[in-house]
Structure 1
């Protein structure tokens, strides 16, 4: 599990944009498919 404040600026932007929206995230450097991010809730990352 990763906390939102541990993410870099690009990854934080992706999490903010996609929070509560069931979309597949674009690939980023540190977020991998299956990661969990704690933000305003817990989010399971699905990436390409």
Structure 2
């Protein structure tokens, strides 16, 4: 369940980035997400 919209979604909706840039931002967000998940698992 997602409580907050992603940067890529917000920026795209505001017209700050186009569809191609949105994909790039999403890719970075996904990498960040998995990095955070890995860190949480290590600390657990």
Q: Which category of TM-score, normalised to the shorter sequence, fits these structures?
A: 0.3 to 0.5
- Give the TM-score taking structure 2 as reference length: 0.33
- Give the TM-score taking structure 1 as reference length: 0.31
Q: Which entry has the higher C-alpha Rg, 1 or 2?
A: 2
Q: Which has the higher helix share?
A: 2
Q: With CA pairs under 8 Å and 6+ residues apart, which has the higher RCO, 1 or 2?
A: 1
Q: Which has the higher strand share?
A: 1
